Structure 1
Amino acid sequence: MIISNLEEINSNIELLAPQSYRNISIIPIKSNSNTKLDLLTLKKGFELGLVEVKECEVSTVNTLIVKNNAVTPLILIDGEEVVGGDQNRLVNATTIIAAKSDMKVPVSCTEKGRWAYKSEFKNSNYIANYKTRRAKEYASRKTSSFQDTVWSSINDLEVKNSFVSPTSAMQESYEQLKIDHNKFIEEFSVADGQNGILIIVDGEIKGFEIFLNNSIYRAFHEKILKSYLIDAEIKDKAFAINIDTAHKIIADAFNSTFEKRESKGLEEFFDFENQEGLGKLYTFENEIVHISYFKKMEEKVGDEFQEDIALKTDI
């Protein structure tokens, strides 16, 4: 499927000065968009008391009710987490909820070992780690239910970090390592006008995200960084950065084949894939509000996934 304004948007993408610390590098992305869209983030909605997240009348693992009391649409971002309720959950796909309305939102549990009311839901400081989101990306193309994939990935995260949460809570794995991440957060600042990011680990481009505007991006800057850092092996080694390779990765993503999927809210929702990676793109009122891209991994027999194949970019 062809999305009419993708070529124009891609031509307006600017890659800003790279930032590096140890074996991690980022390239800030800036797209020159003149959009006047006004979308409320979940974090801001909680802070202003304009958003409520509740369990369904009969609690169910994979559905929450989100009420938007604001006069502007609310955007929920794929992988972002809410904590509390009967279990912590993550949002399955970027969703836009109309002003002054509520809807049932598909979610996945990020805390397998608890099913008992803890508190009212609140915003989390984290989104699902990179490997969980990527595994979810694969699983979502085969089934609408990928809870087991999410649980398995969170378990792998605990094994990797030699840490076991009493309730297998993704949030606690992040908290265990947050001191290690703080220095990177300090080193990787938000550039003027930045509304996206490309992440490089050990000289490999792992993925990128682009949001509607700088305001929404700022709400997710630290969360995205942490989602890659928690899966990375940190080393005292630097790698050169090839901007041309980064440009090509993004251009190839925008030149992929886009397949329209069923949307839950006001957004239009597309899967895309090419030889190097795959991801999702969301639009609203003919504007891209979110695009996420993940480097591919190799499939093994039995539909299990083998960690990173050697898709080394020339960086």
Structure 2
Amino acid sequence: MSQEILILGLNPAWQRLFYVDKFTPGEVHRIKKVEEYGSGKGINCGLVLRLLGGVPLMMHFLGSEHGSRIFDEISAYGIQQAPVWIKEPTRICTTVVSEGESTELIEPSPVLSDFENEDFIQTLNDYWSTTQSVALCGTFPQGFNQSLLNDLDFTGKKIYVDAIEGIDGWLEKGVELLKINMQEYCKLLTRLGLPIVLSSPQFWKMTATAVLERLPIKNLVVTDEDSPVRAFRLVEKKFQGVQIQPPQIQVNNRIGAGDSFFAGWLFADSQGMEFEQCLVKATAVATARCEVDRPCNLKVERVAEFEASLADAVEKLE
């Protein structure tokens, strides 16, 4: 039986998705189709994890009408939630999809009050002692007191992170997985004072080794859209790096592909899969997500097909 995973997706959004034939800035567009639904990194991750057979417990800040819609929608999928209700409305993310490409317009996040921060930590404490696996997804709302998370006791817990801002305290304590994209990886290298010389054939080995030696990260994964996904770890202080090229597909919508990858790794790890197997599973999940319009419509049978085709596609990085 899958173990429950607490997902901290603290900055959700109400997604408005507009489909147009061709998007040209400055022009009038007639929209072919409009969809609206709950979104954000934590929600996308939780929905996909549930489809894969995982057991997510989703904790997020929800406000006003869109917050209520998100709560009702997630509940309809049979996912347990621990909402923290706030005064300001949940933000709206408007996305224009055209010819397989997406343009996102993201509203500012709500601003939390001191009372709402206190409500958050009291709610989190209700679950923390019985939670063994925790996944932190995305950004924090404005006014969020990050010390509330940094002061938590991580003893006996597996911590997974899909974020880059405000996570230094978590990384210093040690995490099972840090999953970031290429842009975020460069931000991390800059924060650590490491040179970014992409032209060097030793770039990945040198930088990933330095990150893993400085921070207690068990597994480091860097995604880069259509480029290979790379995963790194140190085993008995020796560098191990692998990469896998996602298969070419007809892209329907890429929104939440990284979140789906994260969910795939969470599920694979919860099933006791090995390092390379986790990479294959996560890549298959992200690929299958891009074939459909929304994360909740991911086809599990397509995940299995991609997983089989990718089984022998893992390359070692020396």
Higher helix share: 2
Higher strand share: 1
TM above 0.5, yes or no, is no
TM-score by length of structure 1 reads 0.28
TM-score by length of structure 2 reads 0.28
Higher relative contact order (CA 8 A, sep 6+): 1
